[in-house]
Amino acid sequence: MEFNTKVAAPEDVKADCLAVGIFEDQGMSPGARRIDRASGGAVRAAMASGDMKGKRGSVVVLRALPGVAAARVVLVGLGPAAELSDKGFAEAVAAAIRGCGAGVATLAFAAGEWKVAGRGAAAGARALVAAARATAFRSDELKSKATRGEAPSLRRQRITLVSPKRDAALEQGLREGVAIANGVDLAKRLGNLPGNVCTPEFLGAEARKLAREWRLKVQVMDRRQIEALGMGSFLSVTNGSVQPPRLIVLRYEGAGRGGFADPIALVGKGITFDSGGISIKPGAAMDEMKYDMCGAASVLGTLRAIAELKPRINVVGVIPSCENLPSGSATKPGDIVTSMSGQTIEVLNTDAEGRLILCDALTYVQRFKPAAIVDIATLTGACVVALGNVHSGLFTPDDALAGELLAAGRSSGDSAWRMPVDDDYQEQLKSNFADMANIGLPGNAGAVTAACFLARYVKDQHWAHLDIAGTAWRSGAAKGATGRPVPLLTEFVLKRAA
């Protein structure tokens, strides 16, 4: 999809289709009113007939209206004006795109009315790009051509935002929207790829490709280099797998002033398949554990978006990546491993592997003296129980950092909800034989004790942990990666740079 802006009256825009909004309570939007006037009452007639009542997501297509340059006008129900949430907005945009048909090569939106309630033009443009790109996205690279459907033609569409006068905020919103959508689509693509394709080596190659295309610094370390760093906890997870592990480090240098000072550090869990290991998972829906690298994918997606937008800030991404499988050489329950920090860990459950790879990555990333560290992980089923598929879980003892991340989530339509990490939960991680156990009590604040485990590796750092187990992908008929939390992370970095 291509996006651009145009200064024109809606009735003068030459396009295959023009989308204008109808509110359930206030009736015609300003754009719809202009089309109505130009066409001698065509919109009024559609509303009077009862065909269009403004119900969110409903559409009516009008063709060849007199006085209107666009070949078609799609009237799109926006629901009540005051309530246009991120989700409702995305539904309406998707309805407009589907309503006018995949055959439409150019689709124009009258910009003024296409915005989320209570937000400005820039946020409206961002949300429109996000919704449009989501409508066109498919993971179809492993399908044969004949079964790819309408998506390829949607991806060729040109979408124009029409406004009465030049609007710099609209243009900036569009630019940010496209960059974020590029990051989201990368995260979705990698997330949806199966474990036999998206291996740790594959992620390393993708990181190299990203670095080449966007002039990032990259280092992809192999088992020997990971051993040399002393990452005994990370390596214990990969013992049962024949796929070699990778430690990926990507750097975006935008701050200038020489050197690589005070970066924002993003650390992403990159388990390319999580069978549970010897503590093996039940079979039902185990395929979804290919998504256990969505934290890693969100780091790559965010760096993609940042590299395109070029904010004045430094960012480092660190991705520990391996498989978690059972075999004769796999780590066993009760095994004790030594992390890079020197702390020892009793692995009571090999399925609590995310924290075992992240703790070493968190130790490693501190060599960059980061201004803030955010780790992103599909870490616990318990977080899904707590927050479902709506908010990502945010864990940090740092109130200021929490405020920034929560605000970034709200304004990017990619929300997080704060959860506790206080020391009162730490006693659950006591071990009789090592410095700590890798699990707490069964059925007892599992998302919190996982965060508390990580907290032991980031003393005196500005650190936050995002548990995206419930938000990184959706199950069922609409199964697929969501690309979250790329919008939240990108917004966080942009705000820090501003």
* Identity of the residue, 213 or 287, whose beta carbon is nearer to ligand BES in the bound complex: 287
Contact 20, 10 (CB under 8 A): yes
From the centroid of its chain, how far is CA 332? 34
* Identity of the residue, 112 or 276, whose beta carbon is nearer to ligand BES in the bound complex: 276
Closest approach, Cβ 163 to ligand BES, in A, equals 42
Q: Taking CB within 5 to 8 Å according to partner kind, which of ligand BES, Mn ion, Zn ion, none is near residue 446?
A: ligand BES
Residue among 36, 91, 206, 351 that touches Mn ion (CB under 5 A)? 351
Question: How many of the other CB atoms lie within 10 Å of CB of 166?
Answer: 9
Contact 273, 324 (CB under 8 A): yes
Measured between alpha carbons, how far apart are the two ends of the chain, in Å?
A: 28
d(CA 19, CA 33): 12
Beta strands in 269-370 (DSSP E): 270-274, 314-324, 336-338, 344-346
Contacts of 120 (CB under 8 A, 6+ apart): 169
d(CA 101, CA 103): 5
* Identity of the residue, 97 or 358, whose beta carbon is nearer to ligand BES in the bound complex: 358
Structure tokens at 95: 């309805």
Binding characters for Zn ion, 419-458, by CB under 5 A (x = yes): ----------------------------------------
323 interacts with Zn ion by CB under 5 A: no
Contacts of 46 (CB under 8 A, 6+ apart): 52, 60, 62, 75
* Identity of the residue, 352 or 374, whose beta carbon is nearer to Mn ion in the bound complex: 352
DSSP assignments along 127-149, one per residue: HHHHHHHHHH----TTS-GGG-T
355 is catalytic: yes
Rg (CA), the chain: 24
36 interacts with Zn ion by CB under 5 A: no
Closest CA to 125 of 138, 110, 135: 110
292 interacts with Zn ion by CB under 5 A: yes
**Is residue 234 within a helix (H) or strand (E), and if so which, with residue range?**
helix 232-238
Catalytic annotation, pick one of 138, 208, 281, 332: 281
Closest residue to Mn ion in the complex (CB)? 351
Q: How many amino acids of this chain bind Mn ion (CB under 5 A)?
A: 3
Structure tokens at 33: 């009113």
**Residues in 343-362 that interact with Zn ion by CB under 5 A:** 354
* Identity of the residue, 43 or 352, whose beta carbon is nearer to ligand BES in the bound complex: 352
Closest approach, Cβ 373 to ligand BES, in A, equals 20
Contact 397, 465 (CB under 8 A): no
* Identity of the residue, 211 or 437, whose beta carbon is nearer to ligand BES in the bound complex: 437
Positions touching ligand BES (CB under 6 A) are 274, 292, 349, 351-354, 378-382, 384, 439, 446, 469
Closest approach, Cβ 443 to ligand BES, in A, equals 10
Closest approach, Cβ 134 to ligand BES, in A, equals 22
Closest approach, Cβ 350 to Mn ion, in A, equals 8
175 is catalytic: no
Which of the stretches 130-138, 272-280, 329-337, 362-370 binds Zn ion when contact is defined by CB under 5 A? 272-280
200 interacts with Zn ion by CB under 5 A: no
Contacts of 356 (CB under 8 A, 6+ apart): 233, 234, 236, 237, 337, 345, 347, 438
Closest approach, Cβ 300 to Mn ion, in A, equals 21
Closest CA to 227 of 124, 322, 102: 322
Q: How many amino acids of this chain bind Zn ion (CB under 5 A)?
A: 4
* Identity of the residue, 32 or 454, whose beta carbon is nearer to ligand BES in the bound complex: 454
Residue among 11, 167, 206, 274 that touches Mn ion (CB under 5 A)? 274
Closest approach, Cβ 301 to Mn ion, in A, equals 22
Contact 17, 95 (CB under 8 A): no
Catalytic annotation, pick one of 34, 290, 355, 484: 355
Name the one residue in this structure whose structure tokens are 């039902």. Answer: 284
Q: Which residues make up the interface to Zn ion (CB under 5 A)?
A: 271, 274, 292, 354
Q: Which residues make up the interface to Mn ion (CB under 5 A)?
A: 274, 351, 353
Please give the positions annotated as active site. Answer: 281, 355
